[in-house]
């Protein structure tokens, strides 16, 4: 099966590294023009250089800070005045780890702005042209924790669950415009984020990071954590015409880690 995204324009959040970077690289390899979006300019430049241009693709980057909502509002609004997007990958950095007892109400507000408000805003800006073109793909990078909450990720558990239910509602509203809205429930992947979370977990448990990683792998039926490239393959498929009848879903990519149906 050949996945072709030639002549499609994609905006990929959180694409200076990890899962976002892998998504951007696979979309570009499939023929899409990609706009990278993250807060680290130097990392974005490096990722930009790695993107496939063999089909004449034109790529660019946008420096934004998702944790600064007002600043993000200005930059993303200006971006959409100059650009049309067919494929939107909603992905941001995750909020700080911590349990429900550790987190205070203002931290939930900050996480809401980071994980929910920025996504809704970006989607609102992308939708008019998608609706006009009668074609669009909105793909949200979420987490398996919306189904089985992780005790050390109280902020992410709470806000990402809201994001997924919003996406389900939106999928119903825009389906007749041939726009699909899907969320991916992310399991354990080999990223900087996992390393950071494992550092905190190792400190709390008084064990080494290697032991934390080994325990993590043991819980996954495939006995390994994912390669970000595997994530990119799923996103490229969902972004293509091959996935035109997949809408309003929450798709786990976790090696079988989720125990629930």
> Where do the domains of the chain lie, and which CATH numbers do they carry?
9-187+227-250 (3.40.50.720), 188-225 (no CATH)
Phi-psi region of 191 (alpha: psi -120 to 50; beta: other; left: phi over 0): beta
Q: Which residues pair with 250 in a beta bridge?
A: 183
Question: Could you give the CA distance from residue 95 to residue 62 in angstroms, rounded to a whole number?
Answer: 21
Residue 150, classed as helix, strand or coil, is coil
With 0.85 as the threshold, say if the pTM is over it.
Answer: yes
For 89-133, the pLDDT digits (tens) are 999 998 888 899 999 999 999 999 999 999 999 999 999 999 999
CB atoms within 10 A of CB 234: 17
Which of these ranges, 152-156, 172-176, 199-203, has the smallest mean pLDDT? 199-203
HSE of 151, CA atoms in CB hemisphere, 13 A: 3
For 244-260, the pLDDT digits (tens) are 999 999 999 999 999 98
DSSP letter, residue 258 = -
CB 40 within 8 A of CB 27: no
């Amino acid at each position: 099966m050949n996945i072709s995204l030639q002549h499609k324009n994609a905006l990929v959040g959180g694409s200076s590294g990890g899962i976002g970077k892998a998504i951007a690289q696979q979309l570009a390899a499939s023929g899409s023009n990609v706009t990278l979006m993250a807060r680290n300019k130097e990392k974005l430049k490096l990722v930009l250089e790695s993107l496939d241009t063999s089909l004449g693709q034109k790529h660019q980057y946008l420096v934004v800070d998702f944790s600064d909502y007002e600043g993000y509002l200005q930059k993303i609004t200006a971006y959409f005045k100059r650009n049309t997007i067919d494929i939107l990958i909603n992905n941001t950095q995750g909020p700080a780890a911590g349990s429900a007892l550790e987190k205070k109400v203002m931290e939930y507000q900050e996480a809401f702005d980071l994980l929910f408000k920025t996504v809704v805003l970006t989607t609102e800006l992308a939708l008019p042209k998608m609706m006009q073109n009668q074609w669009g793909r909105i793909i949200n990078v979420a987490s398996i924790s919306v189904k089985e909450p992780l005790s050390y990720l109280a902020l992410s558990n709470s806000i990402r669950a809201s994001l997924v239910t919003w996406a389900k509602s939106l999928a119903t509203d825009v389906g007749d415009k041939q726009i699909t809205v899907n969320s991916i429930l992310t399991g354990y992947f080999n990223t900087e984020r996992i390393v950071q979370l494992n550092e905190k977990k190792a400190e709390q448990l008084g064990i080494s990071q290697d032991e934390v990683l080994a325990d993590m792998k043991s819980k996954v039926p495939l006995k390994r954590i994912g390669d970000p490239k595997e994530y990119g393959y799923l996103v490229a498929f969902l972004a293509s015409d091959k996935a035109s009848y997949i809408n309003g879903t929450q798709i786990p990519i976790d090696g079988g880690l989720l125990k629930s149906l």
